[in-house]
A and B are shown apart, each in its own frame.
Chain A
Amino acid sequence: MEEVNQAFNEYMEAYKKLNIPEKREEIINSTKELIAVFEQLADQEQIPLKFLRSREINDLDGEHTSEDDFLEAELVYLEVAKNIIGQYLDQKI
């Protein structure tokens, strides 16, 4: 556990040096990875998933993404993740 914690802290140190848009992208991508892993897991086990949809994520496409845009999109991704994890666990447990 010590090793992973050290690696995580090094990752966080590198993260702290990013600018705000890069930090946002890192967070969004990390959330997407969570979604993608569970999506594939469900796919492998042929568990159908239904995804929440919101146009708020489209605001990330703009040239100047505001703090509002980022927070709204991140909430969408988090809720999408929670929703599909719930569906997956509901079938498995």
Chain B
Amino acid sequence: MKDYGYVEIEEQRNAIEKEMSSLLSRVYKTMHGDMGLTREVLGYVEDTMERLKTLIASPSKQEILGGEFNKDRIYVGSEIGKEKTSVPLYFELDLLMDVLEKRYMPKFTDKGPMIHMLQELGKLRDEAAALKFSSQFQPQEKLSEAAMDDIIAATGNFEIEKQTKAGVHFLGIDPIYMHDHVTYRNGDYISEGMSSGSLGKKPLYEKDEKALAEAQSQYVDDLLSVVGKYFVRDWDFINGKGKFLDKLVSYDVDDRIMERLRRIYELQERYHNLAVVSEKATAILEEIVAIEDELSKERQATEKHQKAIDQARARYQAKSSFWKFFHRKMNPDKLQMESMTTEEIDDLYQGRKR
């Protein structure tokens, strides 16, 4: 097998993965734990960030985080499963920030250190994202026969060989897809496309061109209407590529929807091919719409229940001794629950509805 130069950067790549894995593990472990540990976690996160910064700034960062796609440097065979781009790091950082901001931040009275840390993590995440987004992958690049032979010889696995070939034919092309397919053939992303009968499935390129174009156009419309609500859009459909940059409009997004948005985003980052993404992401978009419908019904039910209890409360209070006394002896207009005492309590009461 050819020396693709992979091994020389493997150590650093693994170091990043190990750091992030350990970091997330610690955060999750203490998330529901003793609040006394959170200070320790903060310090740990900051130490880890420093080490990550060093790793990212290393001369091989382009290699570690993705960099230019080079067909002579396709990582295959025994190295399958180890290829990483900035996407995992990017998402790990994004997830970490999300956890820290949404679940940790409210726990801290003094939010200063956490805000500072989130800012630093954001810079790190943006750096990883910028490296990735500036990469010029070539989705239409065909694998050479020699490269295919390398892959098949290296794997020595007939099942993988079949699926690898199918992957190439399926896309006509995308070595990234093929790599992912081989690596994750039993995973979520690939099983629907390849493992569960894709060899017998009608290849994409044989589909009616007009129908395919219409399907892709419909997908883009759906994506804009569904996902556009949650993200600031920055689209690039040049040469059949499509992606949205994940600048969240708001963190107030239902967890189930957020998880699906991440899946769509990952699909786009993995495949760089609108045809493939549209096939795989359409079902996810439909799931998001179904969840939105469910949430809408829940909101309607909540409004209905709230109206009912407001009316019932008013009827009860009109007859209760407590409130009769209050109205007889005191001026209801002067009831100032907000005036209780400290500024903290005042702040708390500002969100009060009634």
Residues of chain A whose beta carbon lies under 8 Å from any beta carbon of chain B: 3-4, 7-8, 10-11, 13-15, 17-19, 22, 25-26, 29, 32-33, 35-37, 39-41, 44, 51, 53, 55, 57-64, 80
Q: How far is the CA of A80 from the CA of B342 in the complex (A)?
A: 13
- CB of A10 to closest CB in B, whole Å: 5
Q: How many residues of B contact A (CB 8 A)?
A: 41
New A-B pairs, 17, CB < 8 Å, besides A8-B316, A57-B345, A61-B348: A11-B312, A22-B302, A22-B305, A29-B354, A32-B352, A36-B340, A39-B340, A40-B331, A41-B330, A53-B342, A57-B344, A57-B348, A58-B109, A59-B106, A60-B348, A61-B347, A64-B102
| Cβ-defined partner of A7 (8 Å) among B103, B315, B344, B347 | B315
Q: Are B316 and A4 in contact (CB under 8 A)?
A: yes
Say whether B106 contacts A61, CB under 8 Å.
yes
Q: Which B residue sits closest to A17, measured CB to CB? A: B305
B residues near A (Cβ < 8 Å) are: 102-103, 106-107, 109, 302, 305-306, 308-309, 311-313, 315-316, 318-322, 326, 329-331, 334-337, 339-342, 344-345, 347-349, 351-354
Residues of A within 8 A of B330 (CB): 37, 40-41, 44
**Residues of chain A within 8 A of B351, CB atoms compared:** 61
Q: Contacts A7-B316, A8-B320, A19-B302: A39 and B106 contacting too (C-beta < 8 A)?
A: no
In the complex, which residues of chain B have a beta carbon less than 8 angstroms from the beta carbon of A64? 102-103, 106
Please give, as numbers and ranges, the residues of chain B lying within 8 Å of A32 by CB-CB distance. Answer: 337, 340, 349, 352
